[in-house]
Amino acid sequence: MKHYLTVNDIASLPDWVDEAINLKKDPYQFEGLGKRKTICLLFFNNSLRTRLSTQKAAMNLGMEVMIMNFGNEGWALEYGDGTIMDQGTSEHIKEAAQVVSQYADIVAIRAFAGLVDKEKDEAEEVINGFAKYASIPVVNMESSVGHPLQALADAITLKENETKKRPKVVLSWAPHPKALPHAVANSFTQMMKLQDADFVITHPEGYELNPEITKGCTIEYNQDEALKDADFVYVKNWSSYSDYGKVLSKDTNWTITKEKLGNAKFMHCLPVRRNMIVEDAVLDSEQSLVVEQAKNRIFSAQIVLKKILEDI
C-alpha cells in the first residue's frame, strides 16, 4: 500500500480487522519490520489519542518516530501553484514535502477542516499536497473530510463487541457548543458501508452529511425512532454541511442519556464533552466502549503502518 488517506484504501476491512485483533494479542510480533525506518508525525492541530497511539504503533513495529507540531512551529505553507509569495506564507508545500521525504520513510499528517470554505476543505490541500509532492507514503491522522484511522479502530471495536451477526448500529448527532468538522462522521459512515449491519444515521434537519458519502444509508430524523433496538450507538457532533460550518442547533434533547441508550453499547471517538454530548451515567457505565476505542487506535495505526512497511 502506498498511502492511507481514506477508508477506501483498506483492501479488505474484515481481513484488516482480524489482522489487527491478532496484532493486539502480540503487539511486538513484527518488531523487526520497522528497523531503521522512521515515521514523521506532523500535527497542524491538537491531539492526544492520535499522537500517542500512532507513536506507540510505530514503536511496536520497531520504528523511530519524529514529531513536529507544524501548526505552531513550522513555516506557514503555501499550496497554490504559481503564487507570488509576498503575503503570509513562507514555504511552498512542494519543497516542504520533498524535504520531509528525505528525513523519514513515512509521513503522517493531521490537518483539520477550516469550516469556512467548503471547496477549500474538500480539496484537502495539506494531505493531498503531501501525497502529491512527497516521495514517501502518507498517512491521514485526520484531515478536512476524513479520519480513517479512527474508523478502522471503530471497526475493530465493533467486531470485538458484537454479539450478533448483523447488529444495528446508529450514528447519532449530539449537541456541542462549537462548530466541529465532519471527518469522524464521514469516515465512520464510509466504514459502516463496508459492514454487514443495519446502519442508521440520525440528526436534526439541516445536519445532513455530504450526500455523496451517505448515499444508500438510512437517515432518520427522529432520534428516538432511530435508537430503537440499537446494539451500538456511535455519537458525534458535526456542524452543518449545507450551511457550511454553522452551528444550527445546541438542542440538549439530543444528548445521549442512559434511558435513550437502552441496552446498546455507547461509542465516541473522544475527546467528549460530558453532559453535553452524553451524560456521565453513560460514560461511567460498562456500556461505554470509549476507552476500548482509544486502545484500538494503536492497532488500527499498527496494521496500516505494517501494510505500508511491507510495501516499502
Write out the residues near ligand CP by the rule CB under 6 A: 47-50, 142, 150, 269-271
What is the smallest separation between the CB atom of 304 and ligand CP, expressed in angstroms? 14
Q: Which residues are annotated as a binding site?
A: 47-50, 75, 110, 142, 147-150, 176, 236, 269-270, 273, 297
Q: Which residues are annotated as a binding site for N(2)-succinyl-L-ornithine?
A: 142, 176, 236, 273
What is the smallest separation between the CB atom of 47 and ligand CP, expressed in angstroms? 3
Q: Which residues are annotated as a binding site for carbamoyl phosphate?
A: 47-50, 75, 110, 147-150, 269-270, 297
What is the smallest separation between the CB atom of 94 and ligand CP, expressed in angstroms? 28
What is the smallest separation between the CB atom of 180 and ligand CP, expressed in angstroms? 11
3-state secondary structure of 288: strand
What is the smallest separation between the CB atom of 160 and ligand CP, expressed in angstroms? 18
Residue 30's contacts (CB-CB under 8 Å, 6 or more residues apart) are 23, 60, 61, 62, 306
Give yes or no for a contact between 89 and 77, defined as CB atoms under 8 angstroms apart: yes
| CA-based nearest residue to 65, from 20, 109, 107, 29 | 107
Chain residue at closest Cβ approach to ligand CP = 50
CA contacts within 13 A on the Cβ side of 224: 2
CA distances from 63 to 75, 103, 191, 304 (A): 26, 13, 28, 13
CA–CA dist 168, 268 (Å, integer): 16
Strand order in the sheet with 198-202: 218-220, 198-202, 168-173, 232-236, 265-267
Give yes or no for a contact between 187 and 148, defined as CB atoms under 8 angstroms apart: yes
